[in-house]
Amino acid sequence: MPEAASRRDLTNRDRELLRAVASGRVELSCGSAPDFFVDGVAWCDQFGARRLVRDGLICQHRVGRFGERVRARLTTEGARHAERGPA
C-alpha cells in the first residue's frame, strides 16, 4: 500500500465511491488522469477519485485504449477500506 493511503483519513464520499466500485457500478477512462463515472454519470469529485487511484485503492479492471471507459476494481487495500463503516 502506498504510504499516502495509510496517512490520510478517507472521507465519507471516498468510502461511497469505494463501495460503488465494489458493486461494479463504476467505470473510469483510461489515461494518466482518469475520469470516473458511476451508473454512467460523471462522479462529482474527480480529484478525490484520482487520489484514490494514486493511493492504490482503485485500479482498472483491464487495460484499455486511451480514453476508453473500463470497469474499475478495488485493490486489496481498497476493499479493506470499503468494508469499514463511515469515517
Q: Per-10-residue mean pLDDT for the chain, 87 residues long? A: 57 94 96 94 95 95 94 95 72
Residue 3: is it exposed, middle or buried by C-beta count within 10 angstroms (0-12/13-18/19+)?
Answer: exposed
Whole-number Cα distances in Å, 29 to 1, 18, 33, 37, 57? 23, 16, 8, 8, 16
Q: What is the pTM of this model?
A: 0.84
Q: How many structural domains is the chain composed of?
A: 1
Dist. CA 55–CA 86, nearest whole Å: 19
Joined grid coordinates for residue 48: 478525490
Q: pLDDT value at position 7?
A: 43
Residue 73: is it exposed, middle or buried by C-beta count within 10 angstroms (0-12/13-18/19+)?
Answer: middle
Q: pLDDT value at position 84?
A: 74
Dist. CA 81–CA 20, nearest whole Å: 12
Residue span of the structural domain in which 65 resides: 3-83
